[in-house]
Amino acid sequence: MSLRNRAAKVDESFQPRLWIVLGGLLLLGAYVIYFIVANAHRVTIHFLFFSATLSLIWVILLCVGIGVLAGMLLSQLYGRRRRSAQK
């Protein structure tokens, strides 16, 4: 196989989009690990009848989960009201 044929095969097999996606995933993974380490210190949360001491990352994830759940419930309520108004 000549050098020119080998170079053509390498050019055909090189996938820049794949490398960009892999690099982006690597950066995202590094950011997630940094986010967890940076928010690992403990905080005290005061509720109405009790207090809890948690890692800040768990408080953040709990708030995100509550927000996602509330968004899903509100979208269901909006869809139900919209369907009943159309009838």
pLDDT at 27: 97
**Domain-by-domain residue ranges, the chain?**
1-38, 42-87
DSSP helix/strand/coil, 40:
coil
pLDDT tens across the length of the chain (87 residues) = 566 666 556 566 778 888 899 999 999 999 999 998 998 899 998 989 999 999 999 999 999 999 999 999 999 988 877 777 776
Under a CB-based contact definition with an 8 Å cutoff, are residues 37 and 55 in contact? no
pLDDT at 63: 93
pLDDT at 67: 96
